[in-house]
Structures are given as C-alpha cells and as structure tokens.
Structure 1
Amino acid sequence: MNIAIVDDNQVNIIVIEKILKSAGYESFWKASSAGELLERLDEQANASGGKVPVDLILMDMMMPEMDGIQACRLIQLDERFKDIPVIIVTALGDSNKLAEALEAGAIDYVMKPVNKVELIARIRVALRLKYEKDWHKENEAKIRGELELARQVQTSVLSLPVSREDLDISAAYYPSFELAGDLYAWHRIDEDRYGVILLDMMGHGISSSLVCMFISSVMQDTITRFVAPEFVITELNRYMNQLNRQRAAVSYYFTAVYLLIDTKRKTIEYVNAGHPPGFLFEEGKAPVALDQGSCAVGFFDQMDIVKSTYAYEKPIRIVLYTDGLLEAMPLPEDVQEETPESDILAERLQGLISKHGDPAQLVTTLLSKEALESQSDDICLVLVQAE
C-alpha cells in the first residue's frame, strides 16, 4: 500500500509520516508540491502499464504554484487517478474553502495541528471505501467480460444467410443491449423446403437472453421434426410452459412468426403468434399481411392455432420484423392518427422492396442514423426472396 504525502513544509511531512508509521503504514510517497505529485503519478502509471501507483493522497490545501483544490480538479479529470481518495490536511479554517475542496474531489479533510487518532480514523475510512470501490470495479469488469462472451455465444447461434438460385434468406439485426431478446433462425427441411422463424422474447438482458438460448437449443430439432407451422408453434409452446413451471415467479413468453417455404410447390404456410404482421409482396399484387395465427407463445398450456397458406406464381419478397422497427420508424406528418404503424410500414416497404435486396439497406433506408443509435428496443428484419 502506498500513501502519498504532499506538503510544501517538510516538517509537516515528517510529522505525518511518523503518525502513519506508528499505525503500521510503511510505504510512502513524499512530494513538496502538487505539480511534483501529478508528474510522479503520470510517470509511475505509464511505467506500470496504467496501474494506479498510490492508494491514498494526503494533501495540503495551501501550496505555491498549485494549491490542493486545483490539484484535486486535475486528478478528477484523469480517468486513471480519479478514484484515488484525497484527504485535505490544512490549517485553513475557511469553511468555504473546505467545501470547495470537497466539491473539487477530496473525500475528507483533517485540520492542523494533526490529531493522530483523527487522522488514522479518517485514513481507515477512506481506504475502506476505496477497497469497496475497487472490488465493485473488478466485479463489473468481470461481469462485462462474461456479458461479452454471452453476446458472442448469442450471436453465433443466429442463422447464416441462405443464397440459392430459387431462394435467398438474410437478416439485419441491431440489438439495443449487449444481450438482446430477438432471435431468428432458418433450417433446411429437405431439398425444397425451409422453416423460417423470427421471435421477440419479453424483456432484455441476461434472463431474456438465456431463455432465447434455451429456445435456440431446441429450434432446429423442432423445425425439422415437426415441420408444419401449427405443430412447430405448439411444440415451442410446450417448451415455454415447461420452463415457466420451473420458474413460477416469472412467466416468460415470446411473439413469433414461423413460416414454411416450399419452393417446388410455390407455397408459404405460416403462423403468426402475436407478432407484428409480416408482409408478403408478389409482383403485380397488393401486399399480403401475415397476421393470422395465435396468441404469443408461453401464455397458455393449450393454444388455438390457425395456419394460413399462400400460393405464389411470380417472384415474392417476404419481410418479417420485430416491433423495435415500428417504434423507431418516423411517422409521416400527414398520417392519420388511427392509421396502424404496420400499414405505414407496408406502404413504405412496397416502394423499397424492388430496389433493395439487402435487409440492412432496407433498415437504414427506413430509419435515420439517429434512430438506430438511440433505439430503445432491438431492431431485427428478416428478408425472404423466392423465385
């Protein structure tokens, strides 16, 4: 442990050093000016790769060239040193000056002539607070590292783009937190069929991410084994209810759109489980809202599910999205208040879908840079293109 003693009077330094040694503190820095202290802090930190070289600073208030208040302000401006506790040791009894020192970053003060018992007590309190702060910083750094690992794992389970002569599937994803509640996946069932799902888990953060990972772990088997939309959603609902029974205090649920694409028969079968309506665009026809299906997954043990089927002849584009896109999308000034946001999105997509074959281009065209940077919810868009 290092304690820095800063005073332009060498007698004061000797007195404080003796008091500290009598209390068992053995390692000291001694500086005759604030400038000398700041210079040495910088040199030692650079030499040790950024490690903070002292645990506590005892600093005189009135010194030539730079006083203790100005030194506290400069210490607070340096990210490396701002958490070092500073105790002002002064003979100045001006309450305004003492208040100014505390506002500048000092955590306490001791009046001269120094009382041994008082000084040691204040040092111990300051060091205890510093140790607690250091522990929290280390713990936060550990948590950040674990969150980053979890984010990488979460990202790794997202499906890679599919590009075939008769089918393209891709997605754009802008999570609002390190760990998000949106998940998309698609799996090949046979030569002609793919199952595609986009879901939005309730909430954000670790709990929602873990539930997403749980659902992701069973997704491929569920889609390839049950295939049909109504059976896939039923099986996912069974998994969610199984999870909710284990955690009776919190019930999780998610909204989803699951669709089965058959490029040979040229059909789309889908179930919308409480999710914002996706849109199907076929050349020469009006957009079709994919809004039929059921309630959200995980609400009830049994679900009444309605499957819908669409047969296409010409090339189609299907856009699935989460509600974060609607929330971030600016509304036209002349729009009627009762007009659903999804209808506005469908109209805008109809004008863009033939120009942009990339989901990221669609999102950045629909939303401003400011909207993406200030988003309060995850934004995800899946684009399916079939010939």
Structure 2
Amino acid sequence: MIFKTFGWSFAVTVVGLVAAFLYGGPTAIAIATILIILEVSLSFDNAVVNARVLTKMSHAWRKIFLTVGIVIAVFGMRLLFPLVVVGVTAKMNPIDAWSLAMEKGDPDVPGTYGYILNEAHPSIAAFGGMFLLMIFLNFFFEQGKEHHWFGPVERFMEKFGVLDGAAVIVALATLLGFGLTFADHTRDVLVYGVIGILTYLLVNGMGELFNAEPEGDEEIEGSTGELILATGKAAFFMFMYLEVLDASFSFDGVIGAFAITSDPVIIAIGLGVGAMYVRSLTIYLVNKGTLNDYVYLEHGAHWAIGALAVLLLFTIGHHIPEVVTGLIGVGFIAAAFGWSVRHNKLHRDDEVSSEPEPELAGV
C-alpha cells in the first residue's frame, strides 16, 4: 500500500536529488532536502483538506489530480509563478525574468530576483491569506457537524454561521483590519485580499453548483448508501478549487525558500518534490479512509489553515520564520490525531460503559 501510493514520490525524489547533484553538487542536494522537508511540513494540513475534497471526486479525476495537478503544482506554482510575479512587478518579459533569476543575486539587494519577489509579498500574502481564511470560516460556520474538537469555540462559530454571509462578513472585517494596520500596503492588501475572497466564492460556488446536478456521476464502489462521486463539470471545479488551495499554501513556501537559497532551479526541485509527497499523502488518506477513522483530523487541519491564514496576513508587515508556520500546522495535526485516537479508544469502551465522548478544552 505504501509503495503503491508513494512509489512515484520516491522515484521523483531520486530523480530530483540526482538533478540537484548534477546542477550544484552536494550543497545543492542538502538545500533541496531542506526545501522538501519545508514544503511537506507547511502543506501537511493541505493534504488533509485535499483528501476530504477528493473523496467526492471520481477515480479518474483523482488520477488527474495526481498527474496533471502535480505538473501545475511543480512547474506552475514553484517555477513559473515566481517568474510571472517578477515579470509583472519589474515590467520585464519572461526571458529577462529568467535571466535575472539565474543571476542568483542576494534577495536583500534591490533589483535582484529574490528582492523583487519579496517586494510583491504583501499582495501575495493578502490573496493567499484571505483564500485560506474563507476555507477556515466556512468549515466551522457550517451547520450540523457531528463532532466538535474545541467544543465551546466551535459550537459558538457554528451558531454564528446561521447568519447569512457570515464568513464573508468576518473575512472582510479581518481584511479591513489588516489593511489599516499595515498602512504602507493598504491598497494592495485590500485589492488582492478581496480578489482572494472572490476567487474562493467563485471556485467553491461553481463546484457546488455543478455538484447539484449528479446526472452521469459515478456511484462510490462498495458504499452502502447512495453516495455519488463527482465527474464532469462538478469534478473540474473541485479540481480547480484544489489547485487554488495548493497555490495559497505554496505562497509561503516559495517566498520562504528565498531565505534558504535564491537559486530558482533548486527551489523548484525541492518544493516540487515536496509537493509530490503532499499529493501522494492526499491519495493515501483517501484510500485508507483516514478522515473517517480519525474524526478530529479534519478539524485540526482547518485550525492549522486558520492559523496559517492569520500568519500570512501578519507577514505583510512582519517576518515570521517558516519553521514557525510549519510547526504550528504539524502541531495542530498531531494534536488532532492524538485526540482522535483517544476518542476511538473511549468509543470502544462505550460498548461496555456510558463514558461521554471527550472534547478538547475540558468540555
């Protein structure tokens, strides 16, 4: 099961590290390895959320996510996206942007590739932060969840979610607060933050719209109910949702990678291999039914997403080490996994006793 799911990731790792060695020797291998770990640690919660969406998609679309999706993730977000940002910001064509990138200048020196990309960070952080915040808010504002991890907080959010447009209201208020706080970037923060919110509403809304028309969809094999796997337009917009989600997660990693190296080739190799592991981990979670077996795991992932969204917004005006965001995400996931294991143990004990279900925060 492990090799079947992660086989391609292992193969890509070997190819990537060999390419790094041929490109820059042992030093390049060491840096690429650090970037692989960075990408996986920052995006573990991404894999959990991806898995929940993939459970609604047909097997064919899952393969598209693992093939076409990884091409978009590696070459689109980890290599081409920084070039596009630098090209637009510095008003230069892609060839000149690539030439500037290959100069490997110091990111602290004005005019270098890393410096220009860092200057665009407020806009990038506002877009990604608001997109992720919408994911966090919509999950906890959703009605009728069977389990609550942070009991009092999650129940309060669920009650508040009854208000029409609650997620948009909170997101816009948050965006306005950060826009006014970082006065030097107010215009960019507000503009790109609103674009991030609109992107979420468009992609998520289109997916739900077409998912409401199940004609021609494929029934889940081996299920006892009438659950439907999305195909066609519904699956396409779910796929687009996943790609935008991946992009939002990758912003922090791409920008943070320049604190380690300014070489775009090594960054693409390291983050690209890491993205492959995130894809494989997503498939593993789907195939094993992990989210159903560990009931708080999805909650932990969304709390991690909320924390990452807020941290991204704070990075508009303050530097936050990538190790902090990575550890917070992994910490939420690990805590949710441990609490799920405890829940499962107590649930088994409930067959012979009436001990109540545990909830975090002493509830």
Same-fold call, TM cutoff 0.5 = no
More helix per residue: 1 or 2?
2
Instruction: Give the TM-score normalised by structure 1.
Output: 0.21
**Rg larger for:** 1
More strand per residue: 1 or 2?
1
Instruction: Give the TM-score normalised by structure 2.
Output: 0.22
Larger relative contact order, structure 1 or 2 (CA cutoff 8 Å, min sep 6)? 2
